[in-house]
Chains A and B, each alone.
Chain A
């Protein structure tokens, strides 16, 4: 059985979610190849070749792949699937965009967001916002799988695979990239960060969110997250949303500030190692999952926390 992993990358480097997906793939088979589909993505392909356990790296490049168009990725991958029994993709918004297309073109089910490989054909995946874990057995000849990266350890370095070029798939003229507005940040990436500081609706404004959450995050070298309520209200960009339909994170430390803890938010962070909740409402559901709860108004608690961190040498 040979398995293809579709890399998550920014052309220059590989995202951590790719290394984690490679670990999931290695649980299925010893023959794991990685496809790097992008534009000027040789550096990312070289990085993939160094990951331990990778047999071969395939590099496909075109403008449309660089723009991340789902049709382009699908048209690149489907012709390769003659040589593979499974294809695994990190369940990022990009992966979720193209992976179901690959499944449909192969006329097989997609097994979405697996958190465990039980055997070659059996997987565990969260449903109902993570309130249930479903074990499913696939009867399809080829498996199309998206992987919840936070559930797997990252494969390390130590490989020396070859890099081979494969043709980029063509896209119909009916889809055109117009532009993108990406949030630039020097902070660690939310999905892979060791510490995450998230703010909720209690912030009351974008200015307050920036004034309270961001300095605390920067003091801890943390990524910034937000609840859906904060994003909906425009206090934080959509990319910050942690939850059932936003990003799923599992850092060492998750600090929730002014977040009540709706089911949908908990779905995105309850696998964090240590959870801290700061909320003035002592009955907020977030305290039911928090290891350490501080019942206090964030307006006084966060500055005090900043001072306590300084005193502790942070």
Chain B
């Protein structure tokens, strides 16, 4: 079984995003970038499937600038077999990412796509669902457990109010939630090995997909700052303050 895992290069999750002073966007110059944490979970899941013998090949795909090769190497170091970079300097919207992935899927023919539920930059939580819709494949989003068989996947999903389990026929799109697994740290030998694994680069423009944006960003502003309040000495003081604030 072949597993395809799309991965995105984003701001590191431990770095606080800062808005540019001209309000044109978030300042990413000289900021640490990493693999999107949810994509990392998806890679881990695919690699575990390979280690269990369920998957035969794990292909990682990224859509982004040349530097996204680092992100792909990170996934290869975790244990993916092969990588494809679909290169563009344009910041694509989820629908266009889904369309580019559809083109990549037509070439790779995976049995299942496992991807992060959300990227921590745009916070859209949309690409997986859109990809499923345009492929007419079933979707299982926000997965906290995946049981794969030859032609179905039984997926436990994190939903409002608890957990839901659904069964989808393959091929399908599965999006990973936080509790699916805890990604490994790549070992130094595996990081070295990853440098020799195949990484193909192709131009996004060569895929014949309309990449025109639907949304125009008029401005990116900093939210109203919350300032630190006061420290109270005792629980009694706390209750008195809350009464004065009118919230008790």
Interface of A with B (CB < 8 Å)? 68-71, 74, 92-94, 96-101, 103-105, 107-113, 122, 126-140, 172-183, 195, 220, 228, 231-232, 237-239, 244-245, 252-253, 263-264, 270, 273-276, 282, 287-295, 301, 304-305, 307-309, 311-312, 314
CA distance A111 to B126 in the complex (A): 10
Are the CB atoms of A133 and B226 closer together than 8 Å?
no
Decide: A103 and B130 in contact? CB cutoff 8 A.
Answer: yes
Q: Does B26 interact with chain A (Cβ within 8 Å)?
A: yes
- The answer, among B124, B162, B177, B221, for a CB contact under 8 Å with A237, is B162
Identify the closest chain B residue to A291 (Cβ): B229
**Sample (12) of A-B pairs whose CB atoms are under 8 Å apart:** A110-B126, A128-B26, A131-B16, A135-B219, A137-B215, A137-B218, A176-B168, A179-B164, A245-B125, A289-B226, A292-B242, A307-B235
Q: Across the two chains, which residue of chain B brings its CB closest to A102?
A: B133
Say whether B221 contacts A132, CB under 8 Å.
Answer: yes
CA distance A134 to B242 in the complex (A): 33
Inter-chain contacts of B166 with A (CB < 8 A): 69, 175-178
Contact at B235–A305, with CB atoms within 8 Å?
yes
Could you say which of B47-55, B78-86, B92-100, B193-201 contacts chain A?
B92-100
> Does B138 count as interface, using CB distance less than 8 angstroms?
yes
CA–CA, A135 to B19, complex, Å? Answer: 13
Q: Which of B106-143 contact A (CB under 8 A)?
A: 117-118, 120-134, 136-139, 141-142
Q: Is B13's beta carbon under 8 Å from chain A?
A: yes
Contact B159 A180 (CB under 8 A): yes
Min Cβ gap B10→A in Å is 9
Name the distance in Å between A256's Cβ and chain B's nearest Cβ: 13
- Shortest C-beta distance, B9 to chain A (Å), equals 14
Known interface pairs A129-B17, A134-B220, A290-B228; A308-B121 also in contact (CB < 8 Å): no
Expressed in whole angstroms, the minimum distance between the Cβ of A45 and any Cβ of chain B is 20
Interface pair A178/B165, CB less than 8 Å apart: yes
Chain A contact residues, majority secondary structure: mixed
Is the interface on chain B under 10, 10 to 19, 20 to 34, or 35 or more residues?
35 or more
From known contacts A132-B223, A180-B164, A232-B178, infer whether A103 and B95 are also in contact, taking CB-CB under 8 Å: yes
User: A292-B242, A293-B230 given as contacts; is B138 within 8 A of A172 (CB)?
Assistant: yes
CB pair B159–A293 under 8 Å, yes or no, is no
Q: Find chain B residues with CB under 8 A from A98 CB.
A: 129
Once A132-B220, A135-B219, A289-B226 are accepted as A-B contacts, the answer to whether A104 and B163 lie under 8 Å apart by CB is no
Residues 33-45 of chain B: 1 if any A CB is under 8 Å from the residue's CB, otherwise 0?
0000010000000
Contact residue among A68, A129, A178, A253 (Cβ-Cβ distance under 8 Å from B154):
A178
Q: At the interface, yes or no: B160 with Cβ under 8 Å from chain A? A: yes
B215 near A312 with CB under 8 A, answer: no
Inter-chain contact A293/B133, CB cutoff 8 Å: no
The minimal Cβ–Cβ distance linking B67 to chain A, given in whole angstroms, is: 19
Contact at B139–A292, with CB atoms within 8 Å?
Answer: no
Is B188 at the interface (CB under 8 A from chain A)?
no
CA A76 to CA B218, docked complex, whole Å: 33
Q: A74-B133, A109-B215, A287-B228 are in contact. Are A183 and B162 (CB under 8 A)?
A: yes
Which residues from chain B sit less than 8 Å from chain A, CB to CB?
Answer: 11, 13-14, 16-19, 26, 38, 93-95, 98, 117-118, 120-134, 136-139, 141-142, 144, 154, 158-169, 172, 177-179, 213-223, 226, 228-236, 238-239, 241-243, 245, 247-248
Among B128, B160, B236, the one with the most A-chain Cβ atoms within 10 Å of its Cβ is B160
Other-chain contact of B129, A70, A136, A177, A181 (Cβ < 8 Å)? A70
Return chain B residues, CB-CB under 8 Å to A131: 16-19, 26, 222-223
Contacts of B160 in A (CB 8 A): 92-94, 239
10 tightest Cβ-Cβ pairs between the two chains A and B = A174-B169, A291-B229, A109-B214, A128-B17, A304-B235, A100-B126, A100-B129, A104-B133, A104-B130, A182-B162
On chain A, the residues within 8 Å of B154 by CB distance are 178
CB neighbours (8 Å) of B94 from chain A are 100, 109-110
Q: Out of B159, B167, B172, name the residue touching A93 (CB < 8 Å).
A: B159
Would you give the shortest CB distance from B111 to chain A, in whole angstroms? Answer: 13
Contact indicator B229/A293 (Cβ below 8 Å): yes
B129 touching A97, Cβ below 8 Å? yes
Contacts of A113 in B (CB 8 A): 123
Determine if A136 and B216 form an interchain contact, defined as CB atoms under 8 angstroms apart: yes
Q: Which chain B residues border A293 with CB–CB below 8 Å?
A: 228-232
When distances are taken between beta carbons in the complex, the residues of chain A under 8 Å from B19 are: 131-132
Note all chain B residues with C-beta closer than 8 A to A174: 137-138, 168-169, 172
Q: Indicate if the CB atoms of B239 and A312 lie closer than 8 Å.
A: yes
Question: Chain A residues with Cβ under 8 A from B163's Cβ?
Answer: 180-182, 238
Do B239 and A309 touch across chains, with their CB atoms under 8 A apart?
Answer: yes
- In the assembled complex, the CB of A201 is this many whole angstroms from the nearest CB of chain B, namely 14
Closest to B13 in A: A264
Smallest Cβ distance from A162 to chain B, in angstroms?
29
Find chain A residues with CB under 8 A from B245 CB: 274, 291
19 additional contacts, CB 8 Å, given A132-B222, A134-B220?
A97-B141, A97-B142, A98-B129, A100-B125, A100-B128, A104-B95, A111-B215, A112-B124, A128-B17, A128-B123, A129-B17, A136-B218, A176-B167, A180-B164, A238-B158, A239-B162, A291-B245, A294-B234, A304-B235
